[in-house]
């Protein structure tokens, strides 16, 4: 999932990739990582998206596709739930932090 966050991952697809059953993957993953695989995937996508927003000028729709969302609207809603601000606002705050010498 790290190498290809844009893929339409499901628990079944992740289990196939790992060569184990869905039940085995879910149990082992949650035990080792502390959260279910698809929750971790969402966290990873949102972290990656935040980095892309802060470090590039790519349109929000392009970033949405790079992190596995079919459209900018669904991505924006998920990003706001996760980070508390819209992708555009996050980018503005990151740009301001860079100009002011602060980290996001």
- Long-range Cβ pairs for the range 34-40 (8 Å, 24+): 37/1, 37/11, 38/9, 38/10, 38/11, 40/1
**Range 10-36 average pLDDT:** 97
Residue of 46, 47, 9 lying closest to 29 (CA atoms): 9
- Where in the chain are the domains? 11-100
Tell me the per-residue pLDDT of 67-84, one tens digit each, with 9 for 90 and over. Answer: 999 999 999 999 999 999
The CATH class for the domain spanning 11-100 reads mainly alpha
Per-residue pLDDT band for 103 (boundaries 50, 70, 90) equals: low
Tokens standing for 94?
């990151």
The model's pTM? 0.88
H-run or E-run covering 77: helix 72-83
């Amino acid at each position: 999932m790290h190498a290809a966050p844009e893929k339409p991952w499901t628990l079944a697809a992740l289990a196939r990739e790992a060569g184990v059953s869905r039940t085995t993957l879910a149990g082992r993953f949650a035990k080792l990582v502390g959260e279910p695989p698809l929750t971790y995937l969402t966290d990873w996508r949102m972290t990656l998206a935040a980095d892309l927003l802060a470090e590039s000028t790519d349109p929000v729709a392009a970033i949405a596709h790079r992190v596995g969302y079919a459209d900018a609207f669904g991505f924006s809603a998920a990003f706001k739930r996760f980070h508390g601000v819209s992708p555009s606002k996050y980018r503005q705050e990151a740009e301001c932090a860079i100009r002011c010498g602060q980290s996001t």
